[in-house]
């Protein structure tokens, strides 16, 4: 797996997998993160391992919402850091937003490793180690967050998140942007803006839109965010996948 030829039809996907395996061996990624990644791979395969047009519009809408927000936070877990540490830091700087480490399987050693990795890669401030508040409705260790971080954020970008956390953040009246390759997941359906795309493409894509939209006035940003219909978009993704599946089989794609 270490010498994947560039000509391999699934070169990018295999390189991403290699990066995740590396993160796993370094203790950044939980073993269930490997399984979750596999699920994502399957859905990415179904959309053709590409940013589909509606996901680009979702990224644009996410960028508009992040620019409008007073206190946006990017919530990261092991998979996100392993796959997109630099992209997350660049995105955070461009908005600007802050970063908080939040894990499904909270483990202080792994939180520390992830925070250290982000700092080594140039992040200025990373929340997560000093979790002092709880997100209501999330049991056990999953509910911990920082008062100055996610707890007081108005908008949270939560890539690769679980449905419960998404729901709990919504219940706190926060705006939630998620990146989820499964258009039918609870997260995808609960979020205000769901980007159905691979996190390795989506984070960079949001940043691109941050730069394109940063000089727009507040009314223009409102217009973009206001015209977004997340439920309708998910239907378009489903149609895209159905058509593509049939096309792959019958050879018309």
* CA of residue 158 relative to chain centroid, distance: 5
Whose Cβ is closer to a second copy: residue 195's or residue 210's?
195
Whose Cβ is closer to a second copy: residue 17's or residue 165's?
17
Locate 197 and state its tokens.
Answer: 């795309």
Please state the closest distance from residue 15 (CB atom) to a second copy, in A: 13
Please state the closest distance from residue 181 (CB atom) to a second copy, in A: 9
Whose Cβ is closer to a second copy: residue 104's or residue 127's?
104
Locate 17 and state its tokens.
Answer: 């997998």
Please state the closest distance from residue 4 (CB atom) to a second copy, in A: 13
Whose Cβ is closer to a second copy: residue 115's or residue 160's?
160
- Are 240 and 52 in contact by the 8 Å Cβ rule? The answer is yes
Distance (Å) of CA 65 to CA 9, 70, 95, 121: 35, 10, 10, 26
H/E run at residue 62: helix 53-68
Locate 76 and state its tokens.
Answer: 């990261």
Whose Cβ is closer to a second copy: residue 16's or residue 89's?
16
Please state the closest distance from residue 239 (CB atom) to a second copy, in A: 8
Whose Cβ is closer to a second copy: residue 139's or residue 217's?
139
The residues, any chain, with a CB within 8 Å of residue 82's CB and separated by 6 or more, are 19, 20, 22, 23, 24, 26, 28, 29, 33
Count Cβ atoms below 10 Å from residue 49 Cβ, excluding itself. 16
The Cα 140–Cα 176 span in angstroms is 22
**Using CB under 8 A as the criterion, which residues of the chain lie in contact with a second copy when the complex forms?**
1, 17, 20-21, 24, 31-32, 34-43, 45, 182-184, 234-235, 238-239, 241-242, 245-246, 248-250
Please state the closest distance from residue 41 (CB atom) to a second copy, in A: 5
Please state the closest distance from residue 53 (CB atom) to a second copy, in A: 18
* CA of residue 6 relative to chain centroid, distance: 26
């Amino acid at each position: 797996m270490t010498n994947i030829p560039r000509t391999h039809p699934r070169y990018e996907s295999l390189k991403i997998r290699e990066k995740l395996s590396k993160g796993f061996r370094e203790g950044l990624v939980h073993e269930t993160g490997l399984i979750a990644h596999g699920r994502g791979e399957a859905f990415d395969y179904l959309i053709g391992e590409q940013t589909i047009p509606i996901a680009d519009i979702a990224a644009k809408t996410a960028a508009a919402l992040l620019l409008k927000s007073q206190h946006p936070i990017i919530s990261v877990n092991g998979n996100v850091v392993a796959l997109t540490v630099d992209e997350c830091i660049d995105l955070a700087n461009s908005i600007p937003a802050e970063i908080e480490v939040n894990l499904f399987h909270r483990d202080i050693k792994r939180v520390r490793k992830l925070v250290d990795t982000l700092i080594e890669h140039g992040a200025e401030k990373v929340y997560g180690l000093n979790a002092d508040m709880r997100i209501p409705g999330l049991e056990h260790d999953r509910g911990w967050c920082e008062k100055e971080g996610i707890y007081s954020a108005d908008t949270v970008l939560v890539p690769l998140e679980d449905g419960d956390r998404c729901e709990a953040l919504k219940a706190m009246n926060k705006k939630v942007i998620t990146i989820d390759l499964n258009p039918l997941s609870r997260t995808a359906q609960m979020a205000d803006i769901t980007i159905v795309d691979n996190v390795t493409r989506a984070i960079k894509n949001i940043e691109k839109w941050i730069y394109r939209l940063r000089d727009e006035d507040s009314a223009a940003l409102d217009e973009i965010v206001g015209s977004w219909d997340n439920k309708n978009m998910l239907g378009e993704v489903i149609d895209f996948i159905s058509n593509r599946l049939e096309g792959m089989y019958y050879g018309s794609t």
